[in-house]
Amino acid sequence: MDKVSGKLTVYFEVPFWVGVFERVRDGKLSVAKVTFGTEPKDYEVQEYIQKCYFSLKFSPAVDTVVKDIKRNPKRMQREAKRQMQETGIGTKSQQALKLQQEQNKQEHKARRREKKEAEELRMFKLKQQKKREKHKGH
């Protein structure tokens, strides 16, 4: 049976509030970053998760260590409080986000190159057509 776990960290990254969704599936961590803008209320975050979670673009998976331990509820509460005091996101998450950023950059570069080549081909054909029309007239 596959085990999937998730975590959402919301923090302030000047000038916006940012949410980082971490998903661990089959020992692989993937991350999605969302910019909220103004500080989101709890109900707004809940609503966002319900409406938009499945349309999030998660980063390529990165290997991670999954700990399967039972925890005391009070300990989990203290840990959540401690995490609230900390700012930022984990290094594994940062690696996954960086990987996603690089992937998006490569895709954008490829699309831009294709568009440029298509435009050059269109201009070439247009020039050829004008030359043919010019020579037909003589």
Distance CA(117)–CA(21), nearest Å, equals 37
**Residue 100 identity:** Q
pTM equals: 0.50
Distance CA(93)–CA(6), nearest Å, equals 12
Structure tokens at 62: 């990165």
Distance CA(32)–CA(133), nearest Å, equals 54
Least confident of 88-92, 97-101, 114-118: 88-92
- CA-based end-to-end distance of the chain: 78
Structure tokens at 14: 């000047």
pLDDT tens digits, one per residue of 12-67? 878 888 888 888 888 788 888 888 888 888 888 898 888 888 888 887 777 766 66
**Residue 125 identity:** K
